[in-house]
């Protein structure tokens, strides 16, 4: 049910943040794909942080990456459905729901960035590699993944804040 305090377009003005995430994500992927060869590493902070180029045909942490290709369309469909839900959710937010609007816009921008890669390229371009010495490596990721993660953490914090303060959890 729409929030009467949301106005006609709710918090859809925050879609500019989603577009910014999408543009920065695609620009960074274009840059690194043109600058690095596959799996090449450029050390930024020795023992901790490198740029690298990797292609992920799966989901987070390369989940289902070894499948025969059907996962591309499954993950694209999931991203489309989630994106539609996020836009509807943004539209229904009230004027005071800025924190939640930012969180949803970040997740939406990241989802659209990876969706574009998945549909157009058949894989997601990753280029950020966090590691500890040469002993532990976190899976490579990109700006879209970072935006999704920050947005998800903000959503979780909002839920905990709402429960702790007695406010209703946002719809």
Residues 6+ apart with CB under 8 A from 41: 50, 51, 52, 129
Residue 89 has a pLDDT of: 92
**Do the bridges between strand 41-45 and strand 49-56 make them parallel or antiparallel, or are there none, so unpaired?**
antiparallel
Largest CA distance in the chain: 55
Alpha-carbon distance of 102 to 45, in angstroms, equals: 30
Residue 58 has a pLDDT of: 66
Residue 41 has a pLDDT of: 95
> By the 8 A CB rule, do 117 and 123 touch?
yes
Q: What confidence tens digit (pLDDT) does each residue in 63-113 have? A: 554 555 666 677 788 889 999 999 999 999 988 899 999 999 999 999 999
Sole residue written with tokens 């591309």 = 72
Distances (CA, A) of 42 to 30, 54, 62, 130, 151: 16, 13, 22, 12, 28
Q: Which helix (H) or strand (E) holds 162?
A: helix 143-165
The set of catalytic residues is 126, 145
Alpha-carbon distance of 99 to 105, in angstroms, equals: 10
Alpha-carbon distance of 75 to 122, in angstroms, equals: 11
Residue 83 has a pLDDT of: 93
**Residue ranges of the chain with per-residue pLDDT less than 50:** 1, 5, 65, 171
Domain coordinates of the chain in residue numbers?
8-165
> By the 8 A CB rule, do 140 and 54 touch?
yes
What is the value of pTM for the model shown?
Answer: 0.83
Residue 134 has a pLDDT of: 83
């Amino acid at each position: 049910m729409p929030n009467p305090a949301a106005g006609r377009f709710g918090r859809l003005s925050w879609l500019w943040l989603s577009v910014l995430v999408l543009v920065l994500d695609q620009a960074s992927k274009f840059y690194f794909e043109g600058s690095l060869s596959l799996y090449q590493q450029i050390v930024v902070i020795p023992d901790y942080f490198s740029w690298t180029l990797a292609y992920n045909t799966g989901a987070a942490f390369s989940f289902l990456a070894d499948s025969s290709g059907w996962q591309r369309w499954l993950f694209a469909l999931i991203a489309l459905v989630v994106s539609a839900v996020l836009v509807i959710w943004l539209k229904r937010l009230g004027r005071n729901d800025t924190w939640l609007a930012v969180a949803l816009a970040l997740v939406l921008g990241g989802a659209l960035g990876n969706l574009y890669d998945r549909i157009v390229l058949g894989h997601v371009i990753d280029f950020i590699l966090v590691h500890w010495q040469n002993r532990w490596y976190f899976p490579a990721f990109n700006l879209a993944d970072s935006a999704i993660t920050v947005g998800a953490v903000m959503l979780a914090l909002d839920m905990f804040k709402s429960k702790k303060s007695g406010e209703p959890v946002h719809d």
